[in-house]
Amino acid sequence: MKGTVYKSTGSWYTVKSQQGDFYQCRIKGKFRIGGIKSTNPVAVGDHVAFKVETKGDETVGVIHKIESRDNYIIRKSVNLSKQTHIIAANIDVAFLLVTFNNPPTFTTFIDRFLITAEAYHVKAVLLFNKIDLYNEDELLEIKYLAALYREIGYDCIGISAKTGKNVDKVKALMQDKVSVFSGHSGTGKSTLVNIIEANLDLKTAKISEQHQQGQHTTTFAEMYDLSFGAQIIDTPGIRGFGVVEIDKEELGDYFPEFFELKQECKFNNCLHINEPQCAIKDALENQEIAWSRYKSYLQILEGEDDGYRKDIYKK
Give dist(CA 28, CA 31) in Å, integer. Answer: 9
Which of Zn ion, ligand GDP, none interacts with 64 (beta carbon under 5 to 8 A by kind)? none
Chain positions contacting ligand GDP, by CB under 6 A: 129-130, 132-133, 160-162, 183, 185-191, 205
The smaller minimum CB distance to ligand GDP, of residues 53 and 132, is found at 132
- Cβ proximity of 60 and 11 under 8 Å: no
The smaller minimum CB distance to ligand GDP, of residues 120 and 134, is found at 134
Angle at 86 between CA 84 and CA 92, to 5 degrees: 145
Q: Does 142 bind Zn ion (CB under 5 A)?
A: no
- Nearest-10 crossing angle of helices 291-301, 305-313: 110
Q: How far is the CB of 277 from Zn ion (least distance, A)?
A: 8
Which of ligand GDP, Zn ion, none interacts with 280 (beta carbon under 5 to 8 A by kind)? Zn ion
Closest by CA to 34, choosing from 1, 82, 73, is: 73
Q: How far is the CB of 7 from ligand GDP (least distance, A)?
A: 21
Give dist(CA 69, CA 254) in Å, integer. Answer: 20
- CB-facing half-sphere around the CA of 107: CA atoms within 13 A: 16
Q: How far is the CB of 195 from ligand GDP (least distance, A)?
A: 9
Q: How far is the CB of 110 from Zn ion (least distance, A)?
A: 23
Q: How far is the CB of 279 from Zn ion (least distance, A)?
A: 6
Give the DSSP letter string of 77-113. Answer: -SSTT--EEEEEE---EEEEEE-SSSS---HHHHHHH
The smaller minimum CB distance to ligand GDP, of residues 193 and 265, is found at 193
Number of residues that bind Zn ion (CB under 5 A): 5
Which of Zn ion, ligand GDP, none interacts with 191 (beta carbon under 5 to 8 A by kind)? ligand GDP
The smaller minimum CB distance to ligand GDP, of residues 97 and 283, is found at 97
The 3-state DSSP class for residue 63 equals strand
Instruction: Sketch the per residue contact string, 262 through 291, with Zn ion: x for CB under 5 A, - otherwise.
Output: ---x----x-x-----x-x-----------
Handedness of CA 243, 244, 249, 255 (dihedral sign): negative
The smaller minimum CB distance to ligand GDP, of residues 43 and 205, is found at 205
- Cβ proximity of 156 and 199 under 8 Å: no
